[in-house]
Structure 1
Amino acid sequence: MAEQYPIIVEHLDHWFGVGEARKQAIFDINLKIKKGSLTILMGPSGSGKTTVLTLMGCLRDVMGGSVKLLGTELNGATEAQNVAARRKLGFIFQAHNLHDSLTATQNVLMGLQVHGAGQEAKQKQAAHHMLELVGLGDRSSFLPAKLSGGQKQRVAVARALVSNPEVIFADEPTAALDKESGLNVVKMLKELGQTRGTTTVMVTHDNRILDLADRIITLEEGRIVKDTESGS
């Protein structure tokens, strides 16, 4: 089942706050995400889409219900299990979170650190290749201060993809990009699904990329209100 559906969510609930201030934010979410698919989570601000993303990506503890990620149950998982799961993932956030003192290549290499020491020359070659794929081959030695906002975000995309993750979680990855760059990034994620079986779950408000999605899930007030799969 995990091979066909790397993410299986059943009766997922979540709360924020404690005591009288405790408020339920996610209500009975049920999802099966197909391997190699590009799934988009949409909804107004505060709808719960980023919370669902972080719960599936083991960045937040699962409180109620079940999340199985690549065969690992996250509800009650140990920190060691979470770390092992995260090593199979790639993350792209709206904030690029680059290290200011590192070059573009060195920042991309950070995406390989979780996999331990390896062949340095081979890793650098992989980092350069990813930067070329996102159109920054000529900026590989630049520090973030010398890059535009869109270029920084493309470095962050390269960092997330360089380890060839099984699942990519992306939160507003195109927000800082112009239309062409944004489309190119999402097309790359789509192609990874088709060629490598990489599964992508993305939160976005960007209507320009919806046609590329295999599935669009809309949330409102912590509940799924619409779930549309493409005919492709």
Structure 2
Amino acid sequence: MTEDTPIVVTGLNHWFGTGEARKQALFDINLIVKRGSLTVLMGPSGSGKTTVLTLMGCLRDVQDGSVNLLGHELNGAGRALNESLRRRLGFIFQAHNLHGSLTALQNVLMGLQVHGLPNRQAQQDAARHALRLVGLADRMDYLPANLSGGQKQRVAVARALVGNPDVIFADEPTAALDSGSGLTVVTMLKRLGETRGTTTVMVTHDNRILEMADRIVTLEDGRIVRDSAS
């Protein structure tokens, strides 16, 4: 693995359940993700794409095979290493998971809790900058109930970006958005790759954004069946 390949997946297999109910979900997944790229994982429900995403993002333990993330092997990694790596990652989910009692600014500040910035002013400055990046400079003090669906998702994007992560993992980030808002979110992630070298791996069913992807990997029944980089 080099600085230009922040994610290398080799011979990855995964199972769910135990005993007679144990079922294999992933079969020999091999994937190299380049720095600054926007990689899209596609496939029908149950194809394994979200499982791959969560294994790469330290959200699930690697059972068999290798996942090398930012120079660290995740198979056998302990809790301390996983927590350390998560500080270098950003996560965006279909459900924006905003706290309803907190303003947009306060929700983004929550994304900085694991980063340990030296003082509260530095945290405030970083959170405000992230919200300006996503076009919400005039909505910082709004509660989620007073934001549109697209604005809520942009707050979630700002929360993911605020720690300046090396890699962003996004699971269906545009599913609940109209075409304009979805395009805005993906354009933002694409720009981050070009300007900061931020790597994005995205699970989506959204055909509207495929032309923006640097690479499209299609899974079916736990196997990679197509890869536009091949």
Same fold (TM > 0.5): yes
1:193 matches 2:193: yes
Q: Which runs of 5+ in 2 are unaligned?
A: none
- Hey, what's the Cα distance between the residues in 1 that align with 2:80 and 2:57? 15
1:11 matches 2:11: yes
**Deviating more after overlay: 173-182 vs 155-164:** 173-182
1:39 matches 2:39: yes
In structure 2, what residue type is equivalent to 1:124? Q
Counting only pairs closer than 5 Å after superposition, residues 37-116 of structure 1 correspond to structure 2 as 37-116=37-116
- Whether the 8 Å CA contact 2:193–2:200 is kept in 1: the answer is yes
TM-score by length of 1: 0.96
What SS does the aligned partner of 2:14 have? strand
What SS does the aligned partner of 1:116 have? coil
For 2:165, the equivalent position in structure 1 comes to 165
In structure 2, what residue type is equivalent to 1:76? G
Counting only pairs closer than 5 Å after superposition, residues 148-227 of structure 1 correspond to structure 2 as 148-227=148-227
Deviations 1:159-186 (A, max 9, x none): 0011110000000111122211211111
Deviations 1:141-162 (A, max 9, x none): 0111222222211110110011
Structure 1 outlier segments of 4+, above 4 Å: none
Q: Which runs of 5+ in 1 are unaligned?
A: none
RMSD of equivalent CA atoms? 1.2
After TM superposition, give the deviation of residue 220 of structure 1 in Å.
0.2
- Hey, what's the Cα distance between the residues in 2 that align with 1:3 and 1:117? 25
**Deviating more after overlay: 177-186 vs 91-100:** 177-186
- Hey, what's the Cα distance between the residues in 2 that align with 1:129 and 1:229? 35
What SS does the aligned partner of 1:90 have? strand
- Hey, what's the Cα distance between the residues in 1 that align with 2:8 and 2:126? 31
Report % sequence identity.
75
1:118 matches 2:118: yes
- Hey, what's the Cα distance between the residues in 2 that align with 1:44 and 1:150? 25
Number of residue pairs matched by the alignment:
230
After TM superposition, give the deviation of residue 129 of structure 1 in Å.
2.0
- Hey, what's the Cα distance between the residues in 1 that align with 2:210 and 2:195? 20
- Hey, what's the Cα distance between the residues in 2 that align with 1:92 and 1:203? 10
